[in-house]
Amino acid sequence: MRAIILNISAWAILPFMDTIAKYLSAELSFFQITWARYFFTVFWTLPFMFFFFRKNLKWSENLKLQIFRGLTLLFANVCFFYSISVISMAKALTLAFIAPLVTTALSPFFLNEKVGIKRWTAVIIGFLGSLIVIRPGLLDFNLATLAALGTGFSYGIYLIITRKLHSTDNPLLTLLITGIVGAIIASFLVPFVWTAPTLSQWSWLSLMGIFACLGHILLIYSLKYADASKLAPFAYFEIIPNIILGYYFFSDLPDFFTFVGLFIIISSGFYVYLREKSLVKI
């Protein structure tokens, strides 16, 4: 029960980071906001880990894979922050929920896992759910919806890499390296889009980093008490505070087709999860 509470708490906190990012995107570049997300995450995370988890921070056994993992998450964040600067947070997150389906589709090629016809069917149905949300050919199909799908695709690859690293590197080390990689790469590019933030904007950017830091630390603590596979379905809880915050601050309420697509994507994701769980028992 402790693991579930910690996990749900993390997914309740992380949408506040997205809300701040969307609010600031009206005046700052989405890429500058992405840079701040990484910079302040490392800024707040590093002292916490140094004082409380210093003994656990052993050097990575697969640094190249760690760097690639950081790059995939950076790309996912860039895509997501761009998408929510244009479309609603709920719609962007709904499309990003294809990540577990992408992981399932790619796992035979990168993890040598067998994916049967039933799970392939779930992946296809989940993709159809995303098509319902974006409705190709209609006016609301744009670059922002493609970016949201890019978020899900990149995050799906990120999950595959995380599975590979799970047996070799400490999760705390993985979190720290991922943040450092994102901060360094973004620092080289952010000068091209830099706009000097006001004191108020700096405060919001710093707070965004705190929410990111706190959310991910809660996720790490939840994994201490339960396996990742058991906690995976609770990630869908994120859509609830996402919708509430989007409506309260931006008057964004998902339309009927978004809710239908969300239901199909989540149902497909749950089926894949239950299928994998049943196969593990066998």
Average pLDDT over residues 125-152: 78
pTM confidence score: 0.86
Average pLDDT estimate for 4-31: 92
Parent domain of 140: 2-281
Whether residue 281 has pLDDT greater than 60: no
pLDDT tens figures, 164-213: 776 666 777 777 888 899 999 999 999 999 999 999 999 999 999 999 88
Task: Please determine, for residue 42, whether its predicted confidence score (pLDDT) is greater than 50.
Answer: yes
Could you give the CA distance from residue 21 to residue 1 in angstroms, rounded to a whole number? 31
The number of helix segments (H) and strand segments (E) in the chain equals: 12, 0
- Please compute the mean of the pLDDT values over residues 59-77 and round it to a whole number: 86
> Mean pLDDT, to the nearest integer, of 105-115?
74
Q: What is the average pLDDT across 210-217?
A: 86
C-alpha 181/C-alpha 45 separation (Å) is 14
Q: Return the closest-CA partner of residue 79 out of 9, 173, 150.
A: 150
Least confident of 89-93, 142-146, 162-166, 238-242: 162-166
Q: How much is the average pLDDT of 243-253?
A: 90
Compute the mean pLDDT over every residue in the chain, rounded to the nearest whole number: 83
What pLDDT was estimated at residue 282?
A: 47
Tokens found for residue 269: 């994701």
**Arithmetic mean of pLDDT, 266-277:** 74
Q: Which helix (H) or strand (E) holds 264?
A: helix 256-281
Cβ within 8 Å of residue 241, ≥6 positions away: 11, 12, 15, 16
Domain count, the chain: 1
pLDDT exceeds cutoff 70 at 46: yes
- Count of CB atoms within 10 A of residue 249's CB? 13
CA–CA dist 267, 94 (Å, integer)? 12
Q: What is the structure's pLDDT at 25?
A: 94
How long, in residues, is the chain? 282
Give the pLDDT confidence score for residue 140 in this predicted structure. 59
